């Protein structure tokens, strides 16, 4: 394990020494890092004062809970994305409206749905509108 000096440059990875941006760093701190820390702690413990078994079981339980919460979050995100897709496809053939750049309400029939990005886009007239920008459905 490499310990790096504190500098004004961007932080680096915990164990590779490579540069990791803050968004990716969150993904690096997972169960693997936890297990590495636990093994390091067990390897360097004082033989005359070993780690408390209850403490180790508690840490292992916390790891399992963290992994389950991560899986639950992923499942929730997937369900939300599926619901957005379903809502967008239900608009095909219906009248919908959105506010344009000038703040005017533009209405028309939804003729197409695109799932290219993280948010579905519906086509009203010649304009692709993000689903979350739809303000009126009739």
Tell me, what's the pLDDT at 92? 95
Reported confidence tier of residue 40, pLDDT bands at 50, 70, 90: confident
2 or 125: which leads in pLDDT: 125
88 in helix, strand or coil?
helix
pTM: 0.54
**For the chain, what are the domain ranges?**
1-50, 52-138
> Beta partners for 104?
none
pLDDT in tens, 75-134: 999 999 999 999 999 999 999 999 999 999 999 999 999 998 889 999 999 999 999 999
Nearest partner of 98 among 87, 84, 109, 82, judged by Cα: 109
Q: How far apart are CA 62 and CA 122, in angstroms?
A: 43
Given a contact cutoff of 8 angstroms between Cβ atoms, the answer to whether 109 and 94 are in contact is yes
Tell me, what's the pLDDT at 12? 44
Domain 52-138 annotated CATH 2.60.40.420? no
């Amino acid at each position: 394990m490499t310990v790096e000096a504190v500098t004004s440059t961007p932080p680096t990875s915990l164990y590779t020494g490579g540069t990791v941006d803050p968004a990716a760093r969150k993904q690096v701190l997972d169960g693997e890092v936890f297990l590495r820390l636990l093994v390091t702690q067990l390897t360097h413990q004082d033989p005359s004062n070993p780690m408390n078994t209850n403490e180790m079981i508690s840490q292992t339980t916390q790891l399992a809970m963290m992994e389950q919460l991560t899986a639950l979050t992923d499942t929730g995100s997937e369900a939300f994305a599926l619901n957005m897709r379903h809502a967008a496809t239900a608009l095909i053939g219906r009248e919908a409206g959105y506010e344009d750049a000038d703040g005017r309400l533009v209405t028309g029939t939804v003729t197409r749905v695109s799932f290219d990005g993280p948010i579905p886009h519906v086509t009203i007239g010649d304009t692709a509108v993000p689903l979350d920008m739809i303000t009126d459905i009739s």
